[in-house]
């Protein structure tokens, strides 16, 4: 096969690739890391490069304007090399986003009265073994078991790596050791207990560590006097990985930290990641990326809290079903294809060494149970954390990200569904969309007379695009001020707005509203919201609202009867509820019924980390939840179609919006 020389500017490097290779392959060959938020599907346009010279074939130009094409732009993921070529690779945008957890570092309280002897499955037992003699010759293993029997631990499992050093460890420590034991787990409620580590007093002292062993005078163990033992609660979000470091003796969340999921560079949403993971070695790469993110966060937590990573003896993990599959190395392809079947919703407990987590290699890693391909452990964890499963009143819990997952119920029953909202609320799939990073317009106000906007930019800098909360805000303002009608059409009626402001115009992608002129932006281009973007956002919000409707209908209640609306996820932290109600994303109800809970997923993982009982509750929640698959639900399509308006076909569902809109004197 012929090979071609590709010259890359500005680095001026050259690589050789065969005929038919994609430009992305040439870039990777040259060691350049190209962002592919859409997973290499040509949807996001983020991998655009300029073809300065040479022979290439553009398979898809969907995200490029006529001007872009004239300037030589091509999508690296969609362009085939057919001869020597010279390419200009624009500098990748530096991703600087606000990471909430590290900034706020709020103290998270122990969520319930905690007694490790009652609640915790990982315990530290200080032991003083009898030294063997010629008349007491039981083997080391049986001797350890005999000593643990005083603590009610019997039939101990000793994993091979510990067995292989058991003899020297006991002798070096002069038979004074602390045994770290997992007494049980959800899969083995009656044991057998498993030895995770054996820490010798002399060993600890020799290394200057605090592996103190302090049997009380009566010889009985005080678990708080033993070695420090820690756990981690991990939330693998599609966008952000969050970890709590927890002291298992006190139950306290010592610290928390977060980092962007390293998989983002291979796809922004779960569908893109499934597609990427289904390619050659994509699964292995996805696993390595998220593992490395988690390990970075754990290392940071350990260092700044002076904890040794090998003192972390337990982990609980939540995430959506796709994130769990990628973390566990399970091929996710069937999640995306009808009938949407995951490999497993409730994985068995595993070992840190199986998964490459940099904590004690024999620590249990417990992935909490999900319910279905699109309702994962982040939601069951969230239901536990938000208290829905113990609610007397009718409660709706939602967690909106790339997908909108929602649960309706009380202590007696739970129904759940997931809507494929798409990435619009995360700024993807929108011409000037971006993530909630520095330079993103996050809130917009429009003057109803002049139609001139005022906006707030993250980082108080020149704007580069619009993030999810900015988009919701902008659509709501365009609707309320009459720039758009209920269907999201610009410039309609007898007195079109375009006659009164140059901000409403027809651009490359059809009708659009200019939020910021090129002269005031960081990119030197206008920042606009197009009709196509509005349609995307309408579909996203309609899908979520239709989900609420179907859930309520499925159990024969009315959304109006919902007494509490609990909103989890980072989305809930930034969204302007008033605007979200105005576009019909959230139901119109008294504001005191809304509760913003932040990251309920990691909170659920934290509770499960602490308590055998909480862990059992999550399992019970997962088993109790009735999953409604919307793609087979006859009522969903109707509900979706009805919601494809601002805020809804049935204005009666949105009385407060009707009132504001009425004040604007646009009653029809």
Binding site for a second copy (CB under 8 A): 132-142, 157-158, 160, 163-168, 171, 187, 192, 328-331, 333-334, 338-348, 350, 354, 372-373, 627, 629, 631-632
Residue 265 or 360 having the CB closest to a second copy: 360
The half-sphere exposure of 649 on its side-chain side, counting CA atoms within 13 A, is 9
* Maximal C-alpha separation, the chain: 106
Taking the complex as a whole, how short is the minimal distance between the CB of residue 630 and a second copy, in angstroms?
Answer: 11
Residue 98 or 336 having the CB closest to a second copy: 336
Residue 141 or 445 having the CB closest to a second copy: 141
- Residue pair 107/78 in contact (Cβ under 8 Å)? The answer is no
Taking the complex as a whole, how short is the minimal distance between the CB of residue 622 and a second copy, in angstroms?
Answer: 12
Taking the complex as a whole, how short is the minimal distance between the CB of residue 158 and a second copy, in angstroms?
Answer: 7
Consecutive H or E run containing 101: helix 100-104
Tell me the C-alpha distance between 80 and 628, whole Å: 42
Residue 80 or 350 having the CB closest to a second copy: 350
The half-sphere exposure of 606 on its side-chain side, counting CA atoms within 13 A, is 26
Residue 195 or 467 having the CB closest to a second copy: 195
Q: Which residues pair with 122 in a beta bridge?
A: 182
- Residue pair 81/22 in contact (Cβ under 8 Å)? The answer is yes
Q: DSSP secondary-structure letter at 269?
A: S
Residue 115 or 139 having the CB closest to a second copy: 139
Taking the complex as a whole, how short is the minimal distance between the CB of residue 644 and a second copy, in angstroms?
Answer: 24
Residue 342 or 463 having the CB closest to a second copy: 342
Taking the complex as a whole, how short is the minimal distance between the CB of residue 142 and a second copy, in angstroms?
Answer: 7
Residue 374 or 513 having the CB closest to a second copy: 374
Nearest C-alpha neighbor of 55 from the set 94, 90, 21: 21
Taking the complex as a whole, how short is the minimal distance between the CB of residue 66 and a second copy, in angstroms?
Answer: 43
Nearest C-alpha neighbor of 535 from the set 416, 644, 667: 644
Q: Helices 282-304 and 270-277, interaxial angle, to 10°?
A: 120
Q: Which residue has the tokens 């037992």?
A: 125
What distances in angstroms separate CA 272 from CA 40, 59, 263, 331, one per listed residue? 8, 19, 10, 14
Taking the complex as a whole, how short is the minimal distance between the CB of residue 313 and a second copy, in angstroms?
Answer: 19
- Residue pair 466/441 in contact (Cβ under 8 Å)? The answer is yes
Phi and psi at residue 528, to the nearest 5°: -130, 160
Residue 376 or 569 having the CB closest to a second copy: 376
Residue 165 or 461 having the CB closest to a second copy: 165
Tell me the C-alpha distance between 328 and 340, whole Å: 18
| Cα 233 → chain centroid | 14
Cβ count near 274 (within 10 Å): 24
Residue 535 or 629 having the CB closest to a second copy: 629
- Residue pair 85/54 in contact (Cβ under 8 Å)? The answer is yes
- Joined together, the tokens standing for residue 237 give 């979000």
Taking the complex as a whole, how short is the minimal distance between the CB of residue 347 and a second copy, in angstroms?
Answer: 7
Taking the complex as a whole, how short is the minimal distance between the CB of residue 280 and a second copy, in angstroms?
Answer: 15
Tell me the C-alpha distance between 422 and 39, whole Å: 14
Taking the complex as a whole, how short is the minimal distance between the CB of residue 626 and a second copy, in angstroms?
Answer: 12
Taking the complex as a whole, how short is the minimal distance between the CB of residue 333 and a second copy, in angstroms?
Answer: 7
Phi and psi at residue 395, to the nearest 5°: -130, 140
- Residue pair 127/146 in contact (Cβ under 8 Å)? The answer is no
- Joined together, the tokens standing for residue 391 give 């609610």
Taking the complex as a whole, how short is the minimal distance between the CB of residue 377 and a second copy, in angstroms?
Answer: 13
Phi and psi at residue 416, to the nearest 5°: -145, 150
Task: Reduce the DSSP state of residue 544 to 3 states and report it.
Answer: helix
Task: Reduce the DSSP state of residue 667 to 3 states and report it.
Answer: coil
Tell me the C-alpha distance between 271 and 122, whole Å: 37
Residue 52 or 139 having the CB closest to a second copy: 139
| Cα 536 → chain centroid | 22
Taking the complex as a whole, how short is the minimal distance between the CB of residue 185 and a second copy, in angstroms?
Answer: 12
Residue 347 or 404 having the CB closest to a second copy: 347
Taking the complex as a whole, how short is the minimal distance between the CB of residue 339 and a second copy, in angstroms?
Answer: 4
What distances in angstroms separate CA 666 from CA 174, 396, 410, 472, 501, one per listed residue? 86, 32, 40, 21, 19
Measured between alpha carbons, how far apart are the two ends of the chain, in Å?
Answer: 67
Taking the complex as a whole, how short is the minimal distance between the CB of residue 601 and a second copy, in angstroms?
Answer: 20
Q: What is the 3-state secondary structure of 102-146?
A: HHHCCCCCCCCCCCHHHHCCEEEEEEECCCCECCECCCHHHHHHH
Quick one: CA dihedral 381, 385, 389, 394, positive or negative? negative
Residue 513 or 636 having the CB closest to a second copy: 636
Residue 347 or 470 having the CB closest to a second copy: 347
């Amino acid at each position: 096969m012929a090979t071609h020389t590709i010259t890359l500017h500005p680095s001026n490097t050259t690589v050789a690739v065969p005929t038919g290779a994609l430009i992305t392959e040439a870039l990777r060959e040259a060691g350049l890391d190209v962002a592919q938020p859409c997973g290499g599907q040509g949807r996001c346009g983020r991998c655009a490069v300029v073809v300065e010279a040479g022979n290439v074939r553009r398979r898809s130009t969907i995200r490029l304007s006529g001007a872009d094409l004239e300037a030589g732009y091509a999508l690296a993921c969609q362009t085939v090399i057919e001869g020597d070529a010279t390419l200009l690779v624009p500098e990748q945008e530096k991703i600087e986003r606000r990471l909430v957890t590290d900034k706020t570092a709020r103290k998270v309280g122990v969520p319930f009265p905690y007694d490790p002897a009652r609640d915790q499955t990982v315990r530290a037992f200080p032991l003083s073994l009898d030294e063997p003699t010629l008349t007491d010759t039981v083997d080391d293993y049986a001797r350890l078991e005999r000593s643990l029997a005083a603590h009610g631990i019997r039939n101990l499992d000793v994993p091979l790596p510990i067995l292989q050093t058991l003899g020297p460890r006991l002798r070096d420590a002069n038979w004074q050791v602390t045994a770290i034991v997992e007494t049980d787990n959800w899969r083995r409620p009656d044991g057998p207990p498993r030895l995770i580590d054996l820490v010798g007093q002399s060993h600890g002292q020799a290394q200057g560590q605090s592996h103190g062993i302090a049997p009380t005078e009566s010889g009985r163990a005080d678990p708080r006097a033993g070695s420090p033992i820690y756990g981690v609660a991990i939330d693998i979000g599609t966008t952000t990985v969050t970890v709590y470091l927890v002291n298992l003796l006190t139950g306290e969340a010592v610290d928390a930290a977060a980092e962007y999921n390293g998989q983002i560079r291979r796809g922004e949403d779960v569908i893109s990641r499934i597609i990427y993971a289904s390619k050659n070695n994509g699964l292995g790469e996805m696993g390595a990326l998220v593992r490395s993110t988690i390990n970075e966060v754990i290392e940071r937590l350990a260092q700044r809290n002076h904890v040794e990573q090998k003192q972390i003896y337990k982990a609980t993990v939540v995430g959506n079903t796709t994130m769990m599959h990628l973390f566990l190395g399970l091929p996710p392809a069937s999640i995306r294809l009808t009938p949407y079947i995951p490999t497993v919703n409730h994985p068995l407990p595993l070992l840190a060494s199986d998964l490459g987590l940099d904590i004690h290699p024999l620590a249990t890693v417990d992935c909490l149970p999900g319910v279905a391909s699109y309702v994962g452990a982040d939601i069951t964890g969230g239901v536990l954390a938000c208290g829905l499963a113990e609610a007397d009143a009718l409660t709706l819990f939602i967690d909106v990200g790339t997908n909108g997952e929602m649960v309706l119920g009380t202590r007696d029953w739970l129904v759940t569904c997931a809507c494929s909202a798409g990435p619009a609320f995360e700024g993807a799939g929108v011409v000037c969309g971006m993530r909630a990073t520095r330079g993103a317009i996050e809130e917009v106000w429009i003057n109803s007379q002049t139609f001139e906007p005022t906006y707030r930019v993250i980082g108080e800098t020149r704007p580069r695009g619009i993030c999810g909360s900015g988009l919701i805000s902008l659509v709501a303002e365009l609707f309320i001020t009459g720039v758009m009608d209920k269907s999201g059409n610009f410039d309609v009626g007898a007195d079109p707005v375009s006659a009164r402001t140059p901000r409403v115009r027809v651009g490359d992608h059809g009708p659009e509203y200019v939020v910021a002129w090129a002269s005031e932006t960081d990119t030197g281009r206008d920042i606009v919201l197009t009709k196509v973007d509005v349609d995307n956002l309408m579909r996203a919000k309609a899908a979520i609202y239709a989900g609420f409707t179907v859930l309520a209908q499925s159990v024969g209640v009315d959304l109006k009867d919902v007494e509490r609306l609990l909103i989890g996820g980072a989305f809930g932290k930034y969204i302007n509820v008033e605007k979200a109600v105005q576009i019909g994303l959230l139901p119109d109800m008294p504001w005191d019924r809304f509760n913003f809970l932040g990251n309920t997923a990691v909170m659920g993982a934290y509770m499960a980390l602490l308590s055998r009982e909480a862990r059992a509750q999550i399992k019970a929640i997962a088993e109790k939840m009735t999953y409604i698959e919307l793609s087979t639900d006859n009522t969903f399509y109707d509900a979706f179609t009805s919601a494809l308006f601002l805020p809804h076909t049935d204005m009666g569902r949105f009385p407060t919006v009707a009132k504001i809109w009425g004040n604007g004197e646009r009653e029809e």
